[in-house]
Amino acid sequence: CRAYINPFVDFLDGGRRWQCNICGALMPVKSNYFSPTDASGRRADVAQRPELSSGSVEYIATKEYIVRAPQPPTFVFVIDVSMQAVASGMLAVAAAAIKASLDDLPGEDRAQVGFLCFDSAIHFHRFRPGCSHPDVLTMPDLDDPFKPAPDDLVVNIADNRGAVDAFLEALPGMHAEARSADSCLGSALEAGLRIMQHVGGKLLAFSAALPTVGK
């Protein structure tokens, strides 16, 4: 059953075998883990091994316990760029806060990021290799939002850090003349889930108003 050794397993044959308390299987104790037992079956080193005396222990899972390779930590930012977001200063604050937090994202060089902006439509930002600024793909269809490009919507942050920083610095200015008062927050969230569904991750939404159009 692949259970770990825990305080409730039994050590038999002087400590040379152990019996799983979940499935009952008998297994040999590896030489580097061996410790003699007393008459009651208690190991001599029980006080020195947390897994034999503690109710909760953290383990580093080996490859035998992994169905697929660990996926990179992925963060998709869904940002309101409507007139209210610009006028209230939310857009500028959100862009600055996201940029300041990039170095603290877990995963270090493996972390991935993606950016969607929304008002009365959904604006996908596609970071292509070698480009200093992302392409903008605008989707007006809010009833059935879909992924407009097969890749480059979620990218490795280390490989694209310059372009990501430049995008976040330019974002408030890109929408400084915003005239749309609509918000399609629900549709934008669905679109965000679609571009990260192949790896999973965390969706972070920044909104200045309740949704008025779309889902």
The mean pLDDT of 178-191, rounded to a whole number, is 92
* Res. 114: pLDDT tops 90: yes
pLDDT at res. 215 = 79
pLDDT tens by residue, 54-101:
877 787 777 777 777 778 899 999 999 999 999 999 999 999 999 999
Residues 164 and 157: beta-carbon distance below 8 Å? yes
pLDDT at res. 130 = 76
pLDDT at res. 53 = 86
Calculate what percentage of the chain has a pLDDT beyond 70: 100
pLDDT at res. 151 = 77
- Tokens, residue 180: 């749309």
pLDDT tens by residue, 24-57:
999 999 999 999 999 888 999 998 999 898 877 7
Residues 202 and 105: beta-carbon distance below 8 Å? no
Mean pLDDT for the chain? 90
202 alpha-carbon distance from chain centroid: 5
- Tokens, residue 34: 């061996």
Residues 209 and 84: beta-carbon distance below 8 Å? yes
* Res. 178: pLDDT tops 90: no
